[in-house]
C-alpha cells in the first residue's frame, strides 16, 4: 500500500449494486482533485444482491479501495462503525453510497476541518425525492431528542460528516451495541460546525430505512441518551397516586350526602383497565432498558467479517 492516507471515506453498502460504480467514479474524481493520499473504505453490510462482487472487482483494480465484507446484515450504524475501526486517515468522512449525499460536498467539509473544526457535519437544506411523511417524522424526531436528552443534535443532520482522528479514536472506544452515531458524535464534544447542502434523491433503488427501522433507531437514540421514558412512569405514578388520595375524601363525602355517584362496576372496571395498561407500558419501558443492558453484558462482537480488510484484494479469481 502507498503512503498513509490523510482522508478515509467510509461508506456502508446494502444492496447498492446499481449506485456503486457511479458512486466510486464521482468520489474518486472529487478525492483525486484534492491531491492528498486517500482511501475508500466500503463496508458491504450483507447485501442480498451482487454488491460484494462488484465491490471486489473495483477493489482489485484500485488500491484506494479497501473492502470490508460482513458475514450478514448488521445494519447501517454497525457498518459505519466497522469502517471507522479500519480507517487510517487523519480525517474520516462518513457518506452514504446512494448518492443522496453528494461527494462534491466533501471538499467543503475538509475546508472547515482545515480551519480547525474536529466535527464537520453536513446540514440538509432541502431533501429531494423524500415523502412528506419521512420529512415530518424526521423533523419531529430531532426535536424530541433535543428536548429529552442531554445532548444537542443539530437539526436536519444525518451521518454525512467529517470527523477528525481524535474524535474517531474516542468513538472507536465506545463499543455500545445499540449505536446512534449522530448522538455519539455530538456527545463527545470537540469543536463542531455544520455545512449546509442539498440532499439529492436516491441514485437508484429504494430506502432501506423502513418505518420499523426508523422507530428502532429512534428508540436507540432515546434509550441511549436519556432516562426520560423511565422518569415518565415515575411522574405518572405520582400523579395518579395524588388523584387517588384526593378522590377518597370526595367519595366519602358524596356518599354520606346520599349521592349515587361512583357506584357501579363500570367505574371500577375502567380504572382497573386503565392502570393495568399503564403498568404494562411501564414494565415494557423498563424491559426495553433491561434488554439493551443484556445485549451489552453479553459482550458479543459488534460485527463479523468474512474477509480480512488488511489484505490486498487479489486480481482475477
Q: Which residues bind ligand UDP (CB under 6 A)?
A: 12-14, 16, 45, 73, 75-76, 79, 96-98, 100, 207-209
Q: At its nearest, how many Å lie between ligand UDP and the CB of residue 187?
A: 21
Going from the C-alpha of 111 to that of each of 37, 105, 155, 281, the distances in angstroms are: 16, 10, 22, 48
Residue 209 binds: one of Mg ion, ligand UDP, none (C-beta under 5 to 8 A by kind): ligand UDP
Helix (H, G, I), strand (E, B) or coil at 155: coil
Residue 203 or 275 with smaller CB distance to ligand UDP:
203
Stretch that binds Mg ion, among 19-27, 99-107, 138-146, 162-170 (CB under 5 A): 99-107
Continuous segment of H or E residues that includes residue 309? none
Going from the C-alpha of 172 to that of each of 65, 92, 185, 193, the distances in angstroms are: 21, 12, 11, 21
Residue 95 or 285 with smaller CB distance to ligand UDP:
95
By CB atoms closer than 10 A (0-12, 13-18, 19+), residue 27 is: buried
Residue 157 binds: one of ligand UDP, Mg ion, none (C-beta under 5 to 8 A by kind): none
Residue 79 binds: one of ligand UDP, Mg ion, none (C-beta under 5 to 8 A by kind): ligand UDP
CB atoms within 10 A of CB 36: 14
**291 — phi, psi (to 5°)?**
-60, -45
Instruction: Indicate whether 100 belongs to the interface with Mg ion (CB under 5 A).
Output: yes
Q: At its nearest, how many Å lie between ligand UDP and the CB of residue 126?
A: 15
Compute the CA torsion angle 66, 69, 73, 76 (nearest 10 deg). -10
* H helix runs in 226-309, sequence order: 228-256, 265-298
Instruction: Indicate whether 98 belongs to the interface with Mg ion (CB under 5 A).
Output: yes
Residue 100 or 149 with smaller CB distance to ligand UDP:
100
Q: Which grid coordinates belong to 83?
A: 469502517
Q: At its nearest, how many Å lie between Mg ion and the CB of residue 48?
A: 17
Q: At its nearest, how many Å lie between ligand UDP and the CB of residue 134?
A: 8
Contact 90, 169 (CB under 8 A): no
Stretch that binds Mg ion, among 13-21, 42-50, 66-74, 91-99 (CB under 5 A): 91-99
Residue 97 or 168 with smaller CB distance to ligand UDP:
97
Residue 36 or 176 with smaller CB distance to ligand UDP:
176
Bridging pattern class, strands 157-164 and 65-69: unpaired
Residue 61 or 213 with smaller CB distance to ligand UDP:
213
Q: Which grid coordinates belong to 189?
A: 464534544
Residue 101 binds: one of ligand UDP, Mg ion, none (C-beta under 5 to 8 A by kind): none
* List of residues contacting Mg ion (CB under 5 A): 96, 98, 100
Amino acid at each position: 500500500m502507498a503512503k498513509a492516507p490523510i482522508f478515509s471515506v467510509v461508506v456502508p453498502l446494502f444492496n447498492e449494486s446499481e449506485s456503486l460504480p457511479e458512486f466510486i467514479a464521482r468520489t474518486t474524481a472529487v478525492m483525486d482533485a484534492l491531491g492528498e493520499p486517500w482511501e475508500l473504505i466500503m463496508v458491504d453490510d450483507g447485501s442480498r444482491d451482487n454488491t460484494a462482487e462488484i465491490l471486489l472487482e473495483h477493489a482489485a483494480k484500485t488500491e484506494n479501495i479497501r473492502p470490508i465484507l460482513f458475514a450478514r446484515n448488521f445494519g447501517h450504524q454497525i457498518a459505519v462503525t466497522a469502517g471507522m475501526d479500519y480507517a487510517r486517515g487523519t480525517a474520516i468522512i462518513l457518506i452514504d453510497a446512494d448518492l443522496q449525499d453528494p461527494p462534491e460536498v466533501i471538499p467543503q467539509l475538509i475546508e472547515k476541518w482545515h480551519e480547525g473544526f474536529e466535527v464537520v457535519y453536513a446540514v440538509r437544506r432541502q431533501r429531494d425525492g423524500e415523502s412528506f411523511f419521512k420529512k415530518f417524522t424526521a423533523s419531529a424526531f430531532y426535536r424530541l431528542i433535543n428536548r429529552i436528552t442531554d445532548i444537542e443534535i443539530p437539526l436536519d443532520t444525518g451521518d454525512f460528516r467529517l470527523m477528525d482522528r481524535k474524535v474517531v479514536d474516542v468513538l472507536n472506544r465506545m463499543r455500545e451495541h445499540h449505536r446512534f452515531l449522530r448522538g455519539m458524535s455530538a456527545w463527545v464534544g470537540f469543536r463542531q460546525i455544520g455545512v449546509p447542502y442539498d440532499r439529492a434523491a436516491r441514485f437508484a433503488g429504494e430506502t432501506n430505512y423502513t418505518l420499523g427501522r426508523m422507530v428502532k433507531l429512534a428508540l436507540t437514540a432515546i434509550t441511549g441518551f436519556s432516562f426520560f421514558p423511565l422518569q415518565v412512569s415515575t411522574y405518572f405514578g405520582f400523579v395518579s397516586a395524588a388523584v387517588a388520595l384526593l378522590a377518597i375524601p370526595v367519595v366519602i363525602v358524596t356518599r354520606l350526602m346520599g349521592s349515587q355517584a361512583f357506584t357501579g362496576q363500570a367505574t371500577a372496571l375502567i380504572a382497573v383497565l386503565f392502570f393495568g395498561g399503564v403498568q404494562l407500558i411501564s414494565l415494557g419501558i423498563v424491559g426495553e432498558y433491561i434488554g439493551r443492558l443484556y445485549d451489552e453484558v453479553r459482550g458479543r462482537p459488534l460485527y463479523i467479517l468474512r474477509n480480512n480488510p488488511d489484505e490486498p484484494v487479489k486480481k482475477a479469481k
